[in-house]
Structure 1
Amino acid sequence: MSVIKKQSILNSIYSYLGAGIGIITQGFIIPNYFTPEENGLLALLLSYMFIFCQIASLGFNNAGTKYFSFFRNYQTNHRGYLNLGFKTQLLGYIGGVCVLWLLKDYIIQTNSNGNELFAENFNFIFVMASATMIFNLFDNYLKGLYNTSAGTLYSQFFQRLFLLIAVSIYALKLVDFHQFIYLWIVAISLPTLFIIIKALSVSGLNFLPSKDFPTSHIRPRFIKFASFSIFTGLSSMIVLQLDKIMVYKYLGLGNTGIYNTCLLFASLLGMAYVGIHKASSAIVIDAMEKEEYNKVESIYKKSSINLYIFGLFIMLIVWVNIDQLFGFIKPEYSIGKTALIIIGFSKLFDLLTGINSLILANSKYYKIDSVLIISFVFVLYLLNQWLIPIYKLNGAAVASLLAIIYYNTLRSLLVWHYFKIQPLGQEQLIATIISGLVVYIGFMLPTLESPAISIIYKSFITGFLFLGLIYFFQVSKDINTLFIQILTKMTDIINGKS
């Protein structure tokens, strides 16, 4: 557990620092200095890039995570893992380029006007995808060597720092939008160079093939798992990508940009999940293989309550200040207020169910998980097709909420059915009641004339009250322990002991 805690702390620190930069970039500079159409273009290019990378990787990273114990061997340079990964993903990349190019005209089509900007910049998807696929390969390689924080540092902090620099240059009118796109591509790609250098320092780089894998007993299982996990791996991002794509299809680039700004809130709520997922993946997988379900259940329960408390805290801070927060960006973005809150509820439900995806996807029942994910995408698509034309941005948000409830409920039930473990208890109910009470109090607080001061004082009161009640009712042992450690450290500093 000490490995999980250490890596989780590092992942969380890097994620929070990156989130702060992301808020400045996505929450302030882009909505104020870019048009909604330009904002929408950036979001759409990233959406297709993420989906492209997941499919083109051919499930190698997911299978590599599950079976890395076979490759992990410092004497043999990890049995040709990097060589196998490059060959597999190069094949997937070439196939993905061909398919995406054939579908180009269909992808660019929209029921709204103004797809010219997307058409002009469509090919940048391939450039970003190549850099991102290489990054993901090396990130997975380092995770297998129990270094889960390096990838978070480069992708969550440094990449967002480079993006902040790029958008600031555009906001200062030092470049036009066409020139900015190239800066944006460079900012996205630079972390790939950093993680290659890190991998070199940790274990050296050997791209020679190995004779072990082709003749090993693990090969057929590896290939089968990789094939199914092409769909499984889509689960972590599909709700954030498919709805943006369908908003574009029905409502155009401008509304895609507005919806993308609302999704910034979801990314904030998901920060802690990414950290815990990455830090616990290797240990959970090892425990699953050894059928140590008590260990898995312990991590499962802790992930649920701690992630849920984190999500509730962010949710209530944003909700009680939503009018003031939207006052800092262009007025046309205000149509996204309700969508943002609905998105928040969908992410809360996701956090509540903890690491159910990690458990089921890395068990012998991964085929069922793959089928479930296919049904999830199908349900999400139908809900978006039905609700977006009627309720526009709110329809996309409701579609995401309903699809996530469907998906995570079934997934949690399957985990319970097969392993007799589940994460929920009275702690989640108590946390929900506390948050509801605090939100009500927050709405009763008067709004001050200065938006900034109003946000600060409302956030302080509601945040302090929420965390104080969480501590008083001992909702989470980990959080209470953390509070005590912080208070002890502060007391020592005041008394001059450290």
Structure 2
Amino acid sequence: MGIVLNQSLKNTIITYIGFGIGAVNTIYLYPFFLGATYYALTNYVLSAAAIIMPLLAFGMQNTLVKFYSQCKTEHEESRFLSFTVLFPLVLSIPLLLIGLFFYDDIADFISKENPIVRDFLWLIPFTGLCMAYFEIFYAWARVHMHSVFGNFIKEVGLRFFSLLALVGVYYNWITVIEFVYVTAGIYFIAFIVTMFYAFYLKRPQFQFTVPHNAKDIIVYTFFIILSGGVATLLLDIDKLMLNQYIKIENIAYYSVATYIALVISVPSRAMHQIVYPITAKLMHENKHNELNDLYKKTSVNLQMVGGFVMLCIFVNISQLYEMVPQEYSGGIPVVFMIGLSKYFDLILGNNNAIIFNTKYYRAVLFLGVILVFLTIGLNMIFIPMYGIMGSAFATLLSITLYSLAKLMFVVKRLHLYPFTKQTLYSIIITAVVFLLFYFWQFPFNPIIAIGLKSVLVTVLYVYVNYKFRISMEINQVIDNVLRKLMLMR
């Protein structure tokens, strides 16, 4: 767990710095500098690009992680890395040509409710392709156990340059329309920088040949495309469907709420970067006991850290919304619904990494496809009735069902169990602390009130979890910090 904890802590710190910058962008700069319409438009373009990204990447970011450890020689490594880079490019070209041929039909359908979307549709495949190749080269770095730099680009770099672009809008260096194009350019720069970093770590001799296990790779890739598509659709389809039923400004209100809730998933995103290749290695070597131990550790660690983040958000949500324009305040119930779905997914630990590296993954992927149709159906029912709250409820229900399905699969098929008695203790602690602080409002400036309440929650939550020994790894980190502080005295 040493390298996992080390890089996970670095990735967590980097990711939270990125989310801090993103919070400034989301809560203040986007609403006040960009306005609801162009904020919503930017989010729509990025969400649509994220949805087509797994198809344009052809699942190679996950395929690379799974099969790289099976390469025995430098020649096999170069051939495999070349394949993962060139294969998506070859297959993306005909897809993009088909999209170009039917461009007008697609544009008419998508811009039916909000005509402003039409002129920016071409940015979606461009940005999606940049996202796809960023993920491929990021996976390239991760298989060489270098996850921190790519995570920095993804979590901090993208948001920091967006912040600079927003400042440019404020000072009239660029217009709100140009901002949408600049955002796509930022993703292109991120892809280029990550590509050069990957080549710095391992520069292959590019070969126009296929690996000896190409059949296994392509079959796995096909199902990973389904998996990536399912995961992304469950995350972003709500924003696309909001565009089809209600005014585009509602996407901005919804985006602020979902961004706040997504902070809960940061520990999972950070740990996943390094746990994924380790999980693949353990499964390839059939080390069941070590894998089960890793499963439990990732679950309880993520539950403790994620529960703390969720508490800080939930108990401060009213004060947080005092800092955004009044029209955004209807998103508070959205924060609770999306936040709970993220928390449940978080406590499943490295569940996804296990599923993606097992021979049984196909059954769960097909179940995921069914749940995508369920999500679409639920959104079609609830958005016209309840607007953004209806979309949030559809997302909560869909993600919860999908997470339960994946959990039952791993338990029944692989006999791996993520939960221990610490799981129940952690849930009880989180619930009690929430009830103690949610109804306790400080009559101060919102920033001061949030800071004070967060300090009190932190002290109580960390102390109780430490005393109950919820996570031995986190207790060890706390002990090391306390020991160093004692030596400094």
* Bucket of the pairwise TM-score, normalised by the shorter protein: over 0.9
* 8 Å Cα contact 2:364-2:405 kept in structure 1: no
Partner letter of residue 117 of structure 2? F
Partner letter of residue 307 of structure 2? L
Aligned to 2:229: 234
Give the Å deviation of 1:487: 1.2
Give the Å deviation of 1:87: 2.5
* 8 Å Cα contact 2:56-2:128 kept in structure 1: no
Residue 484 (structure 2) aligned to one of 480, 485, 489: 489
Give the Å deviation of 1:104: 5.7
Give the Å deviation of 1:121: 1.1
**1:95 and 2:94 correspond:** yes
Give the Å deviation of 1:463: 2.2
Residue 375 (structure 1) aligned to one of 358, 365, 370: 370
Give the Å deviation of 1:62: 2.1
CA distance in structure 1 between the aligned counterparts of 2:203 and 2:318, rounded to whole angstroms: 52
Query: CA-atom RMSD, angstroms?
Result: 1.9
Q: Deviations over 1:121-170 (max 9, x none)?
A: 11111322232222122111112222222210111111221111111211
Partner letter of residue 422 of structure 1? Y
Aligned to 1:322: 317
CA distance in structure 2 between the aligned counterparts of 1:188 and 1:42, rounded to whole angstroms: 13
* 8 Å Cα contact 1:110-1:250 kept in structure 2: no
Aligned to 1:342: 337
CA distance in structure 1 between the aligned counterparts of 2:206 and 2:127, rounded to whole angstroms: 23
Aligned to 2:176: 177
Give the Å deviation of 1:273: 0.8
CA distance in structure 1 between the aligned counterparts of 2:297 and 2:83, rounded to whole angstroms: 36
**1:431 and 2:430 correspond:** no
Which residues of 2 match residues 401-420 of structure 1 at below 5 A?
401-420=396-415
Residue 391 (structure 1) aligned to one of 386, 390, 393: 386
Aligned to 1:357: 352
CA distance in structure 1 between the aligned counterparts of 2:251 and 2:381, rounded to whole angstroms: 17
> Which stretch of structure 1 is more off in the superposition, 412-421 or 120-129?
120-129
Aligned to 1:139: 138
**1:29 and 2:29 correspond:** yes
**Count of aligned positions:** 488
* 8 Å Cα contact 1:72-1:145 kept in structure 2: no
* 8 Å Cα contact 2:56-2:129 kept in structure 1: no
- Secondary structure of the 1:445 match is coil
Give the Å deviation of 1:296: 1.3
**1:40 and 2:35 correspond:** no
- Secondary structure of the 2:69 match is helix
* 8 Å Cα contact 1:240-1:263 kept in structure 2: no
Partner letter of residue 449 of structure 1? F
Aligned to 2:49: 49
Aligned to 1:9: 9
Give the Å deviation of 1:179: 2.2
Partner letter of residue 465 of structure 1? L
Residue 301 (structure 2) aligned to one of 306, 309, 316: 306
Aligned to 2:118: 119
Q: Deviations over 1:36-86 (max 9, x none)?
A: 12111111111111121111222222222211123464x338232343123
TM-score by length of 1: 0.93
CA distance in structure 2 between the aligned counterparts of 1:11 and 1:313, rounded to whole angstroms: 17
Partner letter of residue 57 of structure 1? A
Partner letter of residue 254 of structure 1? E
CA 1:228–1:110 in structure 2 vs 1: closer, same or farther (change >3 Å)?
A: closer
> Which stretch of structure 1 is more off in the superposition, 328-337 or 178-187?
178-187
What 5-or-longer segments of structure 2 have no aligned partner? Answer: none
* 8 Å Cα contact 2:12-2:267 kept in structure 1: yes
Which residues of 2 match residues 60-209 of structure 1 at below 5 A?
60-71=60-71, 73=73, 75-76=74-75, 78-101=77-100, 102=102, 105-106=105-106, 109=109, 113=113, 115-209=114-208
Residue 282 (structure 1) aligned to one of 270, 277, 284: 277
What 5-or-longer segments of structure 1 have no aligned partner? Answer: none
Q: Deviations over 1:226-270 (max 9, x none)?
A: 111110122442222111111121123111111111111233112
CA 1:411–1:77 in structure 2 vs 1: closer, same or farther (change >3 Å)?
A: closer
> Which stretch of structure 1 is more off in the superposition, 341-350 or 83-92?
83-92
Aligned to 2:453: 458
Residue 416 (structure 2) aligned to one of 410, 414, 421: 421
- Secondary structure of the 1:67 match is helix
Q: Deviations over 1:360-403 (max 9, x none)?
A: 12100021122122112112111111221112111111111111
> Which stretch of structure 1 is more off in the superposition, 225-234 or 125-134?
125-134
Q: Deviations over 1:96-115 (max 9, x none)?
A: 323444266446646984x2
